[in-house]
Amino acid sequence: MAYFEDMSPCTYFGNWSDRLVSIGWLVPEKEFETGDVSKDFFDALFSMLKKPWQPFVTAGHEPCRFCRFTHGTAMLRYLDGEVSIGTNNLFVPDGERAFVAPSSIIHYIDSHRYQPPAEFQAAVLRESSSSSIDLFKKMKSLGITQQQA
């Protein structure tokens, strides 16, 4: 997986790198923030990841490089649902920009003590209650729109 420092421009998608802010693109070779997060945040992140808005579909499961032997899980089950790990990316609009995180972020938080930036946590807590239509409109206003695969 590509590495981007938290809060740096995300060039992974080729487009929109001036508006996309990287969150949770971790690799074992680079240090990252660790610490507690609230259950409210984790629950909000989980609910957004159940149906992530994204401009295109990516294929293939990206293994977790922090899990030494099992390489992490491809499916995280929690509460009343499940999300696939290491496949999708999560886009979270935040004013004039959008955060983008790999779906593995929820595994990094759960199993590897990752603590994402406070601004990202606030945006997830706010946007988790937005409908997918509202999210689509916000992303569209940033010029980030669905593309045909």
Q: Which residues form the interface with Zn ion (CB under 5 A)?
A: 64, 66-67, 72, 111
Nearer to Zn ion, 28 or 143 (CB): 28
CA distance 107 to 48: 14
Task: Give min distance, CB of 109 to Zn ion, in A.
Answer: 11
Compute the distance between CA of residue 73 and CA of residue 116 in angstroms, rounded to an integer.
20
Query: What's the token pair of residue 128?
Result: 């988790």
CA-to-CA distance for 139 and 93, rounded, in angstroms?
6
CB of 7 to Zn ion, least distance (A): 22
What is the C-alpha to C-alpha distance for residues 5 and 83, in angstroms, rounded to an integer?
24
Closest to Zn ion by CB, 57 or 67: 67
Would you say 14 or 60 has its CB closer to Zn ion? 60
The answer for residues whose C-beta is within 8 angstroms of residue 143's C-beta and 6 or more apart is 16, 19
Q: How far is the CB of 31 from Zn ion (least distance, A)?
A: 16
Count of Cβ atoms closer than 10 Å to residue 28 Cβ: 12
Taking the complex as a whole, the smallest distance from the CB of residue 91 to Zn ion amounts, in Å, to 22
Q: Which is nearer to Zn ion, 27 or 57 (CB)?
A: 27
